[in-house]
Amino acid sequence: MYSNPNVGNIEFLSNRTVKIYYPNYIVHYRYASFIERLLARIIDIFIIIIPAAIIPILPAWLYFSLMHCSTDQQTLGQKVFNIKLKSADGKKVTFGQSTGRFFANILNALTFLIGYLMFFFNSKNQCLHDMLADTIVVSEIGRETR
């Protein structure tokens, strides 16, 4: 039986890309751009604006948290831009992790949006809520079989 110690590992490369090792293939990702993330968020806001107007916070929390821990690991807005949320250890995001990330967004507002500006000053393009939840937002750029 083929055994590889790298399975499940994530490799952060110097060219601002990421490799995640799976049993039968390796996926190459690049970090999602600020514009991709912003436009995806705008689409998602339009999706949840009416339910959130009726019941504050609950629809948005469930939408983002359930979509991010789903098999696709992306909201509908993120799907449009082919970006997804991954745990910084290369694994699928858990419901608890995506819930923490959602509520950490509140800190971005409390820091006068400095939490969002942190995106531009770190090697993994993470905003404050990504750092706190230990997540990265990526776009697949290729696969190779083992």
* Beta-carbon count within 10 A of 115 CB: 21
Whether 84 contacts 93, CB under 8 Å: no
Determine the Cα angle at 82 with ends 20 and 14, to 5°. 40
pTM, to two decimals: 0.90
Within 10 angstroms of residue 37's Cβ, the number of other Cβ atoms is 21
The answer, yes or no, to whether residue 61 has pLDDT greater than 90, is yes
Res 76 pLDDT > 80: yes
pLDDT > 70 in the chain, percent: 95
CA angle 55, 58, 59 (to 5 degrees): 80
pLDDT (tens digit per residue) in 102-144: 999 999 989 999 999 999 999 999 999 999 999 999 999 999 9
